[in-house]
Amino acid sequence: MKENEIGKEISKETIEKCKKKLLNKKEMINANIQSMKHEDTTNTGLIDYEANFVNILALVNHGNSNLLRIDNALIRIEKGNYGHCFDCGNSIDEGLLENIPEITICRSCASDRQKKEKRK
């Protein structure tokens, strides 16, 4: 019995595993952001401070965009449409989901996008 790839549902076990991973990642990012914000910059000069500030801002923004992707993945799990490719709608490989639970596109669409990026 071969299921239609498009209609194939992600198994509950995989979704559970991914959910746990997403929650862990979220916690780690939040902890990182907190520790960065609490970094002591009082003893550094103004120039250092500004340089640090820019670095911290970049890191925090980076963390925030990761958080956003993680939150979106968690929302998709709640809605029950988790694991489907944004581009083609096919279900994403479960092994890939377990490795990168916040992923939004399947392997073939990801490589398509990469090819398009290179052409620019």
Which residues contact Zn ion by CB under 5 A?
85, 87-88, 106, 109
Do the beta carbons of residue 75 and residue 8 sit within 8 Å?
A: no
Residue 101: count of CB within 10 angstroms of its CB:
25
CB of 109 to Zn ion, least distance (A): 3
Residue 53 vs 86, nearer CB to Zn ion: 86
Question: Between 24 and 108, whose beta carbon lies closer to Zn ion?
Answer: 108
| 3-class secondary structure per residue, 45-86 | CHHHHHHHHHHHHHHHHHHHHHHHHHHHHHHHHHHCCCCECC
Q: Which is nearer to Zn ion, 14 or 90 (CB)?
A: 90
**Cβ 107 to Zn ion shortest distance, Å:** 8
Q: Measure the CA–CA gap between 103 and 84, rounded to whole angstroms.
A: 10
Shortest spacing between CB 39 and Zn ion, in angstroms: 40
Closer by beta carbon to Zn ion, 87 or else 94: 87
Task: State the nearest-atom distance from the C-beta of 5 to Zn ion, in Å.
Answer: 10
Q: Using an 8 Å Cβ cutoff, are 105 and 21 in contact? A: no
